[in-house]
Structure 1
Amino acid sequence: MLRRLCLCHRHILLGRNVMQHAAYSTSIKRNYGDGSGNSQYDLTTYKLPFTPDEQNYLLATVNTITSADLARLKVTKRIIKQLMKSKAEVGSYAELSELLYINGFGIKAVESLCNALLRDRDGEEVEDDATNIMLHKNFRKRLVKPRVDVAQLEDIRTVVSVHVTAGCLAWAKIDRGSQVEDLSVEELLNSESRFDAPKIYDKVMDVASRIPDADLYVWEEKNNQQLIKVPLGTIIIAMQLAQIKGMLMVLLESRLKRDIMREEEEVEGAVKWSSGRLIYMKESIVPKLFMLKRGGERTSGLKLADELMSGQQLLSWLPPLDVGEGVQDCYFSTHPSLRRHSATALFIGLAFNHAIIQQNVDVLRKLITPSV
């Protein structure tokens, strides 16, 4: 009974055959007009805020526009999906107000769509969603932990990215302009020290002392490894790696806290960090930016890193690397079995620099675009 009343009401309002549009008509929608929660829009009295000429243009455009055109105009995926579905069911619209009755639409969605089409007609620049998403704290939370504030980003001059395994530790120091200032890798555990806790501690302390000072340290947040039905040796290595990471966390955080206290004493009004400067970056970022996924496996990317370190530009979003004096020779003189770890540290640092610090729009578009 209620559906019949709604359909009758719609028939009177639009003056079109009810059955033609029954597939996408809905009951009367109400929406708050001014955000205050006091006044309400009623579709029986609401009028779209566009001139007759604008409505004619909008109607003709909506009837012919494609999903690719809408995506180019930064129209949301939800609006595109619902509009394309409605057009497939009913064909073209006779009146612009019919958009108000598309299932899942409302006044806000229709006005947003129409304004985007008018901006495109008038040649106005469409606001870049990638930058907006990056500046939104929820997007930053998805990229790094803990969250880094904009004021804190402006205070960063150098970053050291760290890649650690049970066998070695690699790092890359990159400045704000993406110059690679330092790149190194050192062995940690071997057959003699693997089961000797004091030797592990001494080795980590020794290697960590040579990690360069920086405003911030970054490494990847690895997914927890499933240790069910795996060899005992694998479990032992995983436990030792956790031990090494724990040591490094304590050592680096202690160094950073010491530096922060000194800075706050020396510089009045220095930026105070809400948390430590040891940052975990989402593990999926590096393989997505550097195309290191083959099927379900992640490749080391050693060949790509070698070419980047030799000055080649292979990625559209990444200019040729500016490599500090002596860094290139040090990198290529390292054996490939160890150099692949330096490559990973390099990728982590470049990804963080361009995605988080520089907020490179091309990078952000890659990160918000679903993988094919």
Structure 2
Amino acid sequence: MSSYLTIPRKFLQRPAVLYVLQNHGFSTKEHTGKQTTKVYDLTQYEFSYSAEETQRILEILNHSSEEAFFEFKITKGMAKKLIKGRSQLGTFQNVSQLLNIDGFGLKNVENICDKVLNEKPSQILKEEEFVQSKVLIFKKLVKPRVEPQIIKMVSVARRIPKADVFVWEERANYGYLQKAPLGSIIIAMKLAQMRGILTALLDIRQEGKKGGNLFYLRDILVSKLFNLKVGGERICGLNLADQIMQSEKILDWLPPLELNNETQEKYFSIDKVQRKYISTSLFISLAFYQTVIENNVLSHKVLIEG
């Protein structure tokens, strides 16, 4: 039988049509009228793939995404139909099940299988390999949590009262990190990260103000003004801070603080460890206020001559 047959799939199960196909091979030809050389008999046709090739085909068809199908030069429309057919069946158990997909004939199925077999195995992952690689990437490259220090920094930033100026003391030179141990470098990186977060949080609270209200002081400024350097180390200067909070005149360039009894009592009721942190803030704020805001000439002289 050499005539061109167009048989809708829904009619293939009818006995009369099966009788015709059982007694006659049928061939396909393009709409141009050119006869193809391959002859199919649906009742006797078997896909000519070995067990290994069949397993390879099924693995790829069952585990590939739509994008992966494109690598096999499978059209977008066919890729969507493959995924839809796969979702309906769960998985393809044999190649012949592809014939149940709407629009897939023997020629379509063979073309897809041939494309899959000609592709290099290394270009696509099996499902279990993909899952393993995803887990590996997540464990090695992604941290699913925010570190406690960062959470604490955000919490602290929210509790900082509104102010016209925020002052931060930092090192002016990080050259010391070139030969520093790994631990010191990691700490410096963490501090830089925390400073960046704090800067962003405080900047948001400016409420449309132009220009920044966060200033950075070189650490040498406080050290010189309050003479806190002993050798190469910076001391906390708690005793000096206590004297300042008692409104004593202890430095030529610094006027005594005018503090009421309640403020002084509250300060000295705090334990020594906490007062050390407060003393650092005290020195930074006084240094900035006297040198920048008040333009204290005596403080400038200490910095220049020191």
- TM-score by length of structure 2 reads 0.48
Larger Rg: 2
Q: Which has the higher strand share?
A: 1
Higher relative contact order (CA 8 A, sep 6+): 1
